Structure 1
């Protein structure tokens, strides 16, 4: 009777230990690859922000291109073509409808133009707020003039006066959130850099 009682408990404990070991080993053995993939994804997103084209999308080619043109200083990516400073990419973040939205904004060296925008984390509704990662939305921020923008109002949705981009239809809260945190973070960056 006792043998029958303990057998399932011991069996489940052994089975749990075996699968825990397997999962821990897989996590440990793939950690380096996961980190490399995350680094590659970030590099491609920063290159996108600066509109730097590349034909060879291999890890080695992207890494070489990235390291030849981009440097990181105090969480700000700096883009140079030779000796010429082209712009900066800095993190922007805020709350969306369902969670945090994190990304990078590129801005020209004279602080008058948004060069591009990309997102590295978001959990908005697919097909609605999740469309902030689609090219149709992101392309509006390519070479967006903010030189004449009123203080703290760099991104304004049409048809409001001074509107310079379109919100996502059906995703009002996500769109407002993106504009709000972008405006706040751009303003903070410009004040830090003395660009205003």
Structure 2
């Protein structure tokens, strides 16, 4: 009697096939997860560099990694803690071969209209003048809230001045007079604009308080 005729053979065969496919899926998932994490890191690094004016939006990923590694110093909330963005107070752009800080990237994030919005806003060493802003995570409505990622909207932040007090920046509706600390909102995206203003101000205030307390 051949082995295929054994009563236990069908179960053993199915177990072996299932184990083989499970192993393939586990390996595939591990490889995919590594690639996803790598892409997420590049998105964050690009946001930092674009916000502080050290790279362009279309700079190749390998160049982004090189510039980031050579010129960015991440100042952590907990120096002994994890390296992810939630433990970073600010990203400092250093002059090549020098201890001079050329610009500072401040991470921010919060709940948008549909999902989380995360980005980096850059400021000059005076800690008041905005150099730029870049988003690395958002799922707002295309053509409405999703317009926050456009060059047109992001350009409205350049050279704005962070104000003292509870609202370092204000996002105001079209038709209103625009001051030194105000940015015109995306037309038709009131809720996204309100939420973006809130998260920016919350994280900018926290950054200002931490850096003042720490003398950084």
TM-score, length-scaled by structure 2: 0.73
1:64 is matched with 66
1:182 is matched with 200
Structure 2 residue aligned with 1:77, among 91, 106, 129? 91
1:131-170 matched pairs, under 5 angstroms: 131-146=147-162, 149-156=163-170, 157-158=172-173, 159=176, 162=179, 164-170=182-188
Distance 1:39 1:187, change over 3 A: same
1:113 is matched with 129
Extract unaligned runs of 5+ from structure 1.
1-9
Distance 1:11 1:105, change over 3 A: farther
Q: Secondary structure at the match of 1:53?
A: coil
Counterpart contact for 2:132–2:157, Cα < 8 Å: yes
1:130 is matched with 146
- 1:14-67 deviation digits (Å, cap 9, x = unpaired): 887665443322111233333322222222221101111369944433222212
Deviation at 1:78, TM superposition (A): 0.9
- 1:94-147 deviation digits (Å, cap 9, x = unpaired): 22111221211222222111222122222211111111111111111122222x
CA distance in 1, matches of 2:139, 2:18: 32
CA distance in 2, matches of 1:95, 1:121: 11
Work out whether 1:102 is the aligned partner of 2:118: yes
Task: Work out the number of aligned pairs and report it.
Answer: 185
Q: Please, what is the CA RMSD of the aligned residues?
A: 2.9
Extract unaligned runs of 5+ from structure 2.
1-11, 77-87
